[in-house]
Amino acid sequence: MKSLVIVFFTLVVGALVGFTVLKSEKNVDNERILIEEFVPVTVKENTVNTSTIKFIDRGTLKASWYGPKFHGKFTANGEVYDQMALTAAHKYLSFGTLLKITYPKNGKSVIVRINDRGPYIEGRELDLSKGAAIELGILAKGVARVKIQEVVLGERNNPTVMVN
């Protein structure tokens, strides 16, 4: 009887609260944008909250990783570098910019936050933290061509708080 009550309670709660992901794609200024809308729905209160996350294709870049020599030192934006955090260095992207990095050879991806400047080795366009390189599976390889998508939260991409 107790298990029947638990099943019934679970069904009732599931009916009252739902979660839906709506996907759409559009082209704006010759940029392909994938829009995912996360819609938590509470039927009981008749409310629908919607937040939008956009992924804007930025092509591919040659990426490397950096870590041990810089761990614990200050980054260009003034925070202390943590080689295991999911961060990256870029020569001109704004600090706080979020990027979804995908390694096409294995399909793994990670979201990083720009918090430093670099890389300073010719031919490289993005320096990933050691943690991001591990997640992507490129630690041993060292340098790899990766797919870049800028992550835009809502209408702005200027997070006011750090996510790592």
CA distances from 115 to 62, 86, 91, 157 (A): 18, 10, 11, 14
Higher pLDDT, 96 or 46: 96
Query: pTM for the complete prediction?
Result: 0.67
The tokens describing 23, both together, are 């996907």
10 near 36, Cβ under 8 Å? no
Say how many C-beta atoms besides its own lie within 10 A of residue 119's C-beta: 22
Structural domains of the chain ordered from first start: 2-49 (no CATH), 55-153 (2.40.40.10)
CA torsion 151-156-160-162 (nearest 10°) is 0
CA distances from 79 to 82, 100, 126, 149, 162 (A): 9, 21, 18, 24, 10
- pLDDT tens for 42-77 read 555 555 555 688 999 999 999 999 989 999 999 999
Q: Does the pLDDT value for residue 162 go beyond 70?
A: no
Rounded CA-CA distance 16/35 in Å is 26
